[in-house]
Structure 1
Amino acid sequence: MINDFPSSLQREHIATQCVCCGSTALQKSPAILMPFVSHRALGWPPAVIDAEWGLQTIPQGMAYCVCNTLHCVRCEFLFLDIRFSDREMQQLYDGYYGEEYEALREHYEPGFRERNKTLTTPSELIELTRDFILQHTAPTRILDWGGGDGMNTPFKGQGYDTDIFDIDKKPTVPGTRGVSKKEVSTSTYDLIVCRHVLEHVPYPSDALGEIHQCMRDDTLLYIEVPHEALMVGDDDLSSGKKRHWHEHINFFSIEALNNLFGACGFKVLDIQSTPIVSDARLSSASRILQAVVKKTKQVTQTDIR
């Protein structure tokens, strides 16, 4: 265990530590990165190896991007060993669900274009999100971190003052305002919402460190991530049970989130696994992890980096 995690965590392209608790006690099993993600993020489409390649010791067939599944035996976190760079994340998420994104994904995953019609409609989970938050605060000034165009932000209009910050800069819906990091740093918020972001990012502690700097002592932070089916009720979870990876590169347990929040300077006020109805955005997940946290200490960017 690394005692001064997260400041000591190596920001490696291929992880050798748990990115939630810093442990190096990791199980490892081979897996593949799904071809849409490897093509879009890394520029590595699959290749058909045939006789024309002239290879003597490698069997012919389809070659995909090989990776590893890592499982932290300390906090039960399950994750892809590839930790995408800023450039790779930009390539993967620029124009998210847009025409170019949709066309490439349809090529590798026939039927996605039809599914995308559902993905670009309001989420059925919003009321669950609102109800959980309203148990802890009645916010008026809100930042949605990673909120896209604001369609699925839980509070907008009707007296709510809602800012949206996202890597994929696009016009936001009425009742919201798109903001830059500079604007965020000079604003104050009662509540920061971060829904379905941490399962995508290579180093969640970095995202939480940036959010931490935007919070006052009385600001609350709401986090929501999928509680993937593989992570629920399996006492024998191992790396070998996850053989492929897509956009969700982090599968969280409650223990992993508790470690992550504590290391990043947050006190957990409430955390739970909540059953949900089927949601196309969450693939096989039938539950979500919901948490409300607040600051417990000052963490500088030097501490995080």
Structure 2
Amino acid sequence: MVSRELIARHCICCGGGNLEKSPAVLMPFVALRVFGHEPVEITEDWGLRDLRQGMAYTLCNSLQCQNCGALFLDYRFTDEQMEALYRNYRDELYNEQRIRFEPGYANVPPHYHQRANYLCEVEAWLAPYLPEAPAVLDFGGDSGINSLFREHNQLLHIHDISGVELVPGAERADLERIRQCHYDLVTCSQVLEHVPYPLDFVKQMLPALGTGSLIYVEVPHEALLRAHPGSLQLATCKRHWHEHVNFFTESSMRVLLESLGLVVVDVLHLPVDIGWTQGEVMGLLARQA
């Protein structure tokens, strides 16, 4: 089992210790929210003999596992740091702080409040494996705006720490309620790329899986990985880190799920256009062994 290292020295998916490492920077917005760091310019009046003058940013390392190919930030944020990073996510203060470092972000937020248009394709891909109106648990589903089968379900439960208002028809479910329910489908979409310990996060979902239950885990198939399929030399290409602290290969996702006793049933690679950018999502459908 992968340990909870604050500075990763083992793979977050397979636990292997054979990691390629390369220096990178943590983007200023994330560094501010997590560590309280601001970029600073080292000037002549600092009087530092052995340091070159210029801008200083929060340093980190890019790590890539040489076994499963997972590419990730070496910092593994604590619960307190994660809360600081995502506190009042995309509210006025969050947007103001981010725009200060990333002026282009000002054009993005409106799209986050619309349902992603590719979800109907994911639902069509999943439908043959499910009842006509499935009972769904969306783990980390925020408001439920992007929950699968939102308009066609037996029930839709959301488990999320955000506490935001849910879309009509969705119900909030804590871990105790989850254990008492049967779900046809447990989903976790666009979450694992953000969390410091993805294996532990998926493990929390296992009590929701009963006889016949399926789990669908979806992550971005990042452009860097798509441009260099199968490469284990990507640490030197990843020079900065933002909110996505984990880049997953299909191999790394398979290893992660299988290490928890899950059997992968099918894999989806789906090109998407989500309004402000084009990319690809990777979804793995699995069941208990």
TM-score range, shorter-chain basis?
A: over 0.9
Cα distance in 1, alignment partners of residues 273 and 134 from structure 2: 29
Question: Structure 2 length as normaliser, TM-score?
Answer: 0.93
1:91 aligns with 2:91: no
Q: How many equivalent residue pairs?
A: 286
Question: Is 1:262 the counterpart of 2:255 in the alignment?
Answer: no
Counterparts of 2:149 and 2:161 in 1: how far apart (Å)? 20
2:285 is the counterpart of 1:292: yes
RMSD: 1.7
For structure 1, the 5+ residue unaligned runs are 1-5, 297-305
Work out whether residues 72 and 246 of structure 2, in 8 Å CA contact, stay in contact via their aligned partners in 1: yes
Q: CA deviation at 1:35?
A: 0.7
Change (3 A) 1:186 1:48: farther
TM-score, with length taken from structure 1: 0.89
CA distance in 1 between counterparts of 2:162 and 2:282 reads: 24
Give identity over the alignment, percent.
36
CA deviation map 1:242-277 (0-9, x unaligned)? 111111111111111111111011000001322223
SS in 1 for 2:204: helix
Report which stretch shifted further, 159-168 or 214-223: 159-168
Ranges of 4+ aligned residues in structure 1 off by more than 6 Å: none
Match for residue 231 of structure 1? 225
Preserved contact between residue 217 and residue 294 of structure 1 (Cα < 8 Å): no
Q: 1:178 to 1:256 in 2, by over 3 A?
A: same
Of stretches 257-266 and 107-116 in structure 1, the one that deviates more from structure 2 is 107-116
2:148 matched to 1:154? yes
**AA aligned opposite 1:267:** V
Alpha-carbon distance change, 29 to 163 in structure 1, aligned in 2, over 3 angstroms: same
Alignment of 1:1-305 (within 5 A): 6=1, 9-138=2-131, 139-234=133-228, 235-238=230-233, 239-280=235-276, 286-296=279-289
Structure 2: distance between partners of 1:101 and 1:267: 39
Structure 2 counterpart SS, 1:197: coil
Q: Deviations over 1:21-57 (max 9, x none)?
A: 1110110000011111111122222222223433221
* TM-aligned CA distance change 1:279 to 1:246, over 3 Å: farther
Query: Aligned partners of 1:269, 1:259: CA distance in 2, in Å?
Result: 13
What secondary structure does 1:286 align onto? strand
Q: Distance between the aligned counterparts of 1:197 and 1:279, measured in 2?
A: 19
Distance (Å, rounded) in 2 between the aligned partners of 1:15 and 1:219: 33
Partner-residue secondary structure (3-state), 1:171 = coil
Q: 1:291, 1:190 → 2: CA distance?
A: 15
Q: For each residue in 1:71-93, what CA deviation from the matched residue of structure 2 results, as whole angstroms up to 9, or x when unmatched?
A: 11111111111111111111111
Q: In terms of mean alpha carbon deviation, does 216-225 or 174-183 score higher?
A: 174-183
For residue 119 of structure 1, report the CA deviation from its aligned partner: 2.0
| Alpha-carbon contact 1:157-1:176 (below 8 Å) kept | no
